[in-house]
Amino acid sequence: MKTVSREQKNIDLRQYMQQVGERARRASREMARAETAAKNSALEAIAADVERSADALAQANRLDLEAGTRAGLDAAMLDRLTLDTRRIAALAQGLREIAALPDPVGEISRLSYRPSGIQVGRMRVPLGVIGIIYESRPNVTGDAAGLCLKSGNAAILRGGSEALHSNQAIAACIHRGLVDAGLPSDAVQVLETADRAAVGELVRMQQYVDVIVPRGGKGLIERISREATIPVIKHLHGVCHVYIDDKADLDKAIRVSFNAKTQRYGTCNTMETLLVARDVAERVLPVLGAMYRDEGVELRGCPATCRILSWAKPATEDDWYEEYLAPILAIRVVAGVDDAIEHIAKYGSQHTDAIVTEDISRARRFLREVDSSSVMVNASTRFADGFEYGLGAEIGISTDKLHARGPVGLEGLTSQKFVVFGDGHIRR
């Protein structure tokens, strides 16, 4: 085996990444002007190819699973890594759903005449080259590629090293589909290296990459935010709240609060802290508390909560900041809507927060004053999702304030430029 110095490896990696970047930039210009029909036919061709290649995909996946088992990945990680028949079908289905979405590119809006006589409007345009960095689930390769393709962008995808073979096998389907439709195969490049340093290069290639979307745990996202010199659309974490107001319809309050916690535990839009108005705590908490207990949810309460629910553990200050992603719920009794808004401003993560109330003035205040990417009235936080919002697939949920907030779908992968029409008009 040839020995290669670390230094030489770094030079090779940098050269490789520069080439990837150049190819992506070139492809992005072709993609920006690609017609909707060509993009849709590429998505359909990739979906068909994925289905035809089910055996090859399963075989590649087996290599990753074997390596993962040898490397001691835990059962949850191996499960996420697995590409079974059902997931392969879902991959193809997801691509067809993206094909069915309206093309955002080129839409001209708000075109109107100005006093000078010129017409000014805005045209929706792709961002250019999107770098996506994600962890084990190979299905992300298909979703992310599909969303970038449909929105007229070029994509550079960097999956987890544990899914290298699976991702390359999916990449082969994508490339064949792109070429079938007459689009550049460089429009989607899946990095072929497992070297972690590739991520460091990717997030600094300002001249080739326009935006980075990290998908994964908090550690990954924090590392990328720290290193990136390119804008990052990031989703840090979801400490979501439901506030039960004293003017709430208690049936709705119980239904929403139970669903927001228990419908799924591991998602970022799951409620992590329940806030209850003092005047209804005695009526609502015993019922809800018993439901949570029967469901196996551990409760951590403020002193007032613990007085009402004998089986709740005392919450510590840290609990209010916690994203459990597990059957654990923090509960706090608050004086009213002001107190709830204050609590959310201090401990929340600006992801998704809901109020349950029949009082329209309090609902209006909560909507206006809670500074989160999704703010809800009488609905479960679990609705904060691209599909539920009608955006189609989502590439992530942004907790940033600039550009895109909340679920990021096709539109979040585009921007708007100004278009001006005149008839020889000049500025006086």
Are 272 and 330 within 8 A, CB to CB?
yes
Residue 86 binds a copy of itself, judged by CB under 8 A? no
Spell out, one character per residue from 235 to 264, where the chain touches a copy of itself: x when CB under 8 A holds, - when not. Answer: --------------x-xx--xx-xxx--x-
- State which of residues 114, 196, 218, 278 lies at the interface with a copy of itself (CB under 8 A): 114
Among 32, 48, 77, 325, binds a copy of itself (CB under 8 A): 32
Among 116, 207, 316, 361, which residue interacts with a copy of itself (rule: CB under 8 A)? Answer: 116
Q: Is the CB of 55 or the CB of 418 nearer to a copy of itself?
A: 418
* Contact status: 271 vs a copy of itself (CB under 8 A): no
287 binds a copy of itself (CB under 8 A): no
Options 53-61, 90-98, 172-180, 411-419: segment touching a copy of itself (CB under 8 A): 411-419
- CB distance 141 to 168 below 8 Å: no
d(CA 231, CA 228): 7
Helix (H/G/I), strand (E/B), else coil: 331: strand
CB of 411 to a copy of itself, least distance (A): 11
Site for a copy of itself in 117-156 (CB under 8 A): 118, 120, 123, 125, 127-128
In 3D space, the residue among 372, 384, 271, 398 whose CA is nearest the CA of residue 326 turns out to be 271
Cβ of 209: how many Cβ atoms within 10 Å?
Answer: 29
Question: Per CB under 8 A, does 424 bind a copy of itself?
Answer: yes
Q: Angle at which helices 139-150 and 164-180 pack, to 10 degrees?
A: 30
What span, in angstroms and rounded, lies between the C-alpha atoms of 227 and 13?
17
Q: How far is the CB of 120 from a copy of itself (least distance, A)?
A: 5
HSE, side-chain direction, 13 A CA sphere, residue 290: 5
Nearer to a copy of itself, 70 or 427 (CB): 427
Q: Please pick, from the candidates 98, 406, 408, 409, the single residue that binds a copy of itself as defined by CB under 8 A.
A: 406
Tell the smallest beta-carbon distance from residue 424 to a copy of itself (Å): 3
Among residues 166, 187, 154, the alpha carbon closest in space to that of 53 is found at 166
If 0-12 CB within 10 Å is exposed, 13-18 middle and 19+ buried, where does residue 113 land? exposed
Residue 333 backbone dihedrals phi, psi, to 5 degrees: -90, 130
Which of positions 88-107 make contact with a copy of itself (CB under 8 A)? Answer: 106
Burial 261-275 (b: 16+ CB within 10 A, else e): bbeeeeebbbbbbbb
Site of interaction with a copy of itself (CB under 8 A): 29, 32-33, 106, 112, 114, 116, 118, 120, 123, 125, 127-128, 210-211, 231, 233, 249, 251-252, 255-256, 258-260, 263, 345, 354, 356, 365, 367-369, 371-380, 382-384, 388-390, 400-403, 405-407, 415-427
